[in-house]
Amino acid sequence: MRYILTFLLLLLSYSTGFSCYNEYYALDAKGHFHQIEMDRIKFPQYFDQRSIEKQLISLEQKLKKSTDFKLLSDYGLHLVQAGKVKEALVIFEKMAELHPNEYSIIANLGTTYELSGQNEKALEYIRKGIQINPNSHGGSEWIHVKILEAKIALEKDPGYLSNHTVLNLNSNQKQSQKVFDQLYIQLQERVPFSPKETNPIMADLFIDLGDYYFETISFEHAKAFYQIAKLYYKSERLDIDQKIDRSRKLRETYSGSHPGKPKDEMATAEKVNGVPYQNYFYNPWGSDYKINWSKIETDPVTLLAYAGIEPEKPEDKKEEPKKGISEPKKSEELPAKKKSDNSALLLGVTLVTLIIAIFTYFRTRRKK
């Protein structure tokens, strides 16, 4: 029975791209060996659209029977992952009004604002999310803040990253395993949202990750991260080719090094040589699946209604009087206005009569 279970685990590992025993030794820049697992440093290239479709169908059925707003929050997140950002934004904006202290809603709203290009608003809500739950995502959301700050800086100055980095790490942070564990969490979450195209933000983050690996874990892995920055995210940083060449030269320097017998009998007693950067992405479910939206609800008004949230109706909005414009007079004031008009007419007639009388008097006197 034990052998059967082992075989099934190995088969599952092979079919999904993961391995329980894919461990080996790698060298850092100082020639020190480190036993690591390749599968722990891979990134999901896409979201599983087939799974998202199933989740949306299931969640809609639950929403029809329950008004739990958390179900709608999950629904909105899946819409975002499926590319329905505009629809999800309407949902999260309304839910944030009703649940301003619910972390998942605030954080999802921040991410949705970012994906819609509204980085200032995204920064506001990601910061608010950190205040609500500073330990979320392994305490890594400070990196999300740095990313948004860099995006805003790039909007004002396209050359910002020529003399800055996204994280602007100090010397202690550059050696901190905690910092790079948190960076890895953020990259795991961001890669599926970041297709293979020019992306200086993602490129800069992978260069930081490569610098850390180069010094502390593996110059071979570092080279792959540099190549992801250059080839996948089209980095134009002037120093990136130097970093890649430096890693290649170290491979020649330590070509004869061997760690000896590994502590784990299942580990490979060899350092890694030239792992293609494509191997650091996994997508076992494929990227060609298209969601059938004809059987999935995407209308925000309908979805909000499922959760017992009625949209604001136009007739419910009362227009306030415009400043500087007086209110119209009430109907009971109209007779007084008419009386005032009659008095003015009478006064006018009297003045005309008086003028005629004076004129007649002086004309008669002159004839005499």
The amino acid at residue 119 is: N
**351 lies in a domain?**
no
**148 lies in a domain?**
yes
**282 lies in a domain?**
yes
User: 153 by DSSP, 3-state: which?
Assistant: helix
299 Cα distance to chain centroid: 21
> Looking up tokens 């970041």, which residue turns up?
194
**328 lies in a domain?**
no
User: 282 by DSSP, 3-state: which?
Assistant: strand
Range of lowest pLDDT (26-40, 98-112, 164-178, 241-255): 26-40
Quick one: pLDDT at residue 345? 56
Question: Is it the case that residue 65 has pLDDT exceeding 60?
Answer: yes
- CA quadruple 162, 163, 168, 169: dihedral sign: positive
**102 lies in a domain?**
yes
Instruction: Write the CB contacts of 152 (distance below 8 Å, at least 6 apart in sequence).
Output: 119, 120, 123
Quick one: pLDDT at residue 21? 39
Quick one: pLDDT at residue 355? 63
Nearest to 285 by CA among 12, 55, 15: 15
* Residue 365 vs residue 165, higher pLDDT: 165
Which pair of tokens denotes residue 353? 């009569």
What percentage of the chain exceeds 90 in pLDDT?
Answer: 63
What average pLDDT does the chain have? 82
Rama region for 265: left / alpha / beta (φ>0; ψ in -120 to 50; rest): alpha
What is the full DSSP assignment across 313-342? PGGGPPPPPPTT-PPPPPGGGHHHHHHHHH
pLDDT tens track for 243-293: 999 999 998 888 877 776 555 554 554 555 667 899 999 987 777 899 999
Do residues 20 and 9 make contact, with C-beta atoms less than 8 angstroms apart? yes
Question: Is it the case that residue 84 has pLDDT exceeding 80?
Answer: yes
**358 lies in a domain?**
no
Cα distance between residue 358 and residue 349, in whole Å:
14
Quick one: pLDDT at residue 261? 53
CA geometry: angle 11, 17, 18, nearest 5 deg? 75
pLDDT tens track for 180-236: 999 999 999 999 999 999 999 999 999 999 999 999 999 999 999 999 999 999 999
Residue 182 is part of which domain span?
Answer: 23-312
Range of lowest pLDDT (104-118, 148-162, 325-339): 325-339
Cα distance between residue 68 and residue 336, in whole Å:
61
Q: For the chain, how many structural domains are there in total?
A: 1
351 pLDDT band (50/70/90 cuts)? low
> Looking up tokens 């969490």, which residue turns up?
185
- Looking at residue 174, which CATH number applies to its domain? 1.25.40.10
pLDDT tens track for 120-164: 999 999 999 999 999 999 999 999 999 999 999 999 999 999 999
**200 lies in a domain?**
yes
Range 86-93, long-range pairs (CB < 8 A, 24+ positions): 86/116, 87/298, 87/299, 87/300, 88/112, 89/113, 89/116, 90/300, 90/304, 91/300, 91/303, 91/304
**267 lies in a domain?**
yes
Nearest to 269 by CA among 5, 91, 35: 35
